Amino acid sequence: MLHENKASYRDWRAAKLARYPQRVDELQVEIGGLTSFEPGDKGRILECLGRANMAIYTCRDRSVDRAAMRAFSAHFGLLRLDHHLCANDDGVAELTVATEDRRAGYVPYSDRSLSWHTDGYYNDESRRVQAVVLHCAQVAASGGDNDILDPEIAYIKLHDADPAFITAFEHPECMTIPANVTDQGEIRPAITGPVFSYDKRNESLHMRFSARKKNIRWRDDAATTAAREYLANLLADENGPVLNYRLLPGQGLLSNNVLHNRTAFIDGPGQKRLLYRARFFDRVDSS
Ligand SMILES: [Fe+2]
C-alpha cells in the first residue's frame, strides 16, 4: 500500500492532484540539446517529473545518436540500461519499422498500434524498468502519437473508486506473462507479479501493466476483473486524466515509466519514423 498511514496518503493525494497538469503543454520544456544542456534545463525537466513523473522536452540542437541518448540520461541518474532482446549492444533501441532482423516479429518494431502498457512489464522484479527516455528523430507521415498517464494518478483513481482494486493489483500473483518461446527454445520464462508495487526506500510506486488481450494471464477473481475494467474505462475516458501527444523530431519523453500507448502510423516516401529508446533500472529522483 502506498503510504500505510491514512493521513499521509490523504496529504500526498491532495498535493498530487493539485499539481497534476490539466493540459499536456504544461509538461513541455525547451532545452539546448541532448548533449548541450543550458542552465535551468535540468531543473525545468525535474519540475515536470515532480508533477507527473514525465516531461516532454524539445531540443534546439536536434543532433541525436545513441551515445547522446546515454549522455542525456546520465544527467538524471539513469545509468543502468536494460539490455533487452531488441536493443543494440549499447542498450539503446531504435524503434522503426523492421522487416528483416529479429525485431521484425515484435509489434513495437512495426507500424501497428500498441495498446496501453508500461515498459518491461514482462521483466522480473530484479529487472524492473523504472525510467524510459523516448526520443524522436523522425516522425511518420501520419499517426504514431501517444496517450500517456502517470501511474500515480491511475493509483489514486482506482483507490478512490474502491480500495479493493488496489489490494487486487498488489497481489503477487495478479498478472502472469507466459514464457517467450521461439524456434530456438525458451528465451524468457513465465513471469508472475503484481501490477502495483511500492518501494519504501525511495517512496516510489511501480506499475507493471499491459492491456494486451493475448499472452497475459490475469488472476481469476472478481476484484481483479473489476479493477481491470475500471482501469480500462479510465484509460479510455476522453474527459479523464489521460494526456495525448505526438513527438516531433528533436522532442522526447523522459519518464519514470508512465502508462502509454501508440496509434498506428504510416511512413512516407523517404520519411521513416525513428525513435530512440533507452530503458533503465534507475528512477529519476525529482524530490
Ligand atoms: Fe512502450
Distance 277 CA to ligand 1 centre (A): 9
Q: Computed from CA positions of residues 122, 124, 130, 134, in that sequence, does the dihedral angle turn out positive or negative?
A: negative
Distance 208 CA to ligand 1 centre (A): 11
| Partners of residue 94 on adjacent β-strands | 276
End-to-end CA distance of the chain: 20
Strand, coil or helix: what is 81?
strand
Measured distance CA(77)–CA(49) in Å, rounded: 13
Distance 115 CA to ligand 1 centre (A): 9
| Partners of residue 266 on adjacent β-strands | 142
CB atoms under 10 Å from CB of 227, counted, come to 26
Distance 11 CA to ligand 1 centre (A): 31
What is the distance of C-alpha 89 from the center of its chain? 22
- Cell numbers given for 131: 525510467
| Partners of residue 245 on adjacent β-strands | 146
Distance 118 CA to ligand 1 centre (A): 6
Measured distance CA(197)–CA(56) in Å, rounded: 26
Measured distance CA(111)–CA(215) in Å, rounded: 20
Strand, coil or helix: what is 240?
coil
| Partners of residue 149 on adjacent β-strands | 259
| pLDDT, position 105 | 76
Distance 120 CA to ligand 1 centre (A): 8
Measured distance CA(41)–CA(201) in Å, rounded: 28
Distance 261 CA to ligand 1 centre (A): 7
* pTM (whole model) above 0.85: yes
Measured distance CA(249)–CA(260) in Å, rounded: 19
pLDDT values of the chain reduced to their tens digit, one per residue, 287 residues: 576 788 999 999 999 999 999 999 999 999 999 999 888 999 999 999 999 999 999 999 999 999 999 999 999 999 999 987 777 788 899 999 988 777 877 888 899 999 999 999 999 999 999 999 999 999 999 999 999 999 999 999 999 999 999 999 999 999 999 998 888 888 889 999 999 999 888 889 999 999 998 889 999 999 999 999 999 999 999 999 999 999 999 999 999 999 999 999 999 998 999 999 999 999 999 98
Distance 5 CA to ligand 1 centre (A): 33
Distance 4 CA to ligand 1 centre (A): 30
Q: Are 266 and 113 in contact (CB under 8 A)?
A: no
| Partners of residue 181 on adjacent β-strands | 186
Distance 110 CA to ligand 1 centre (A): 13
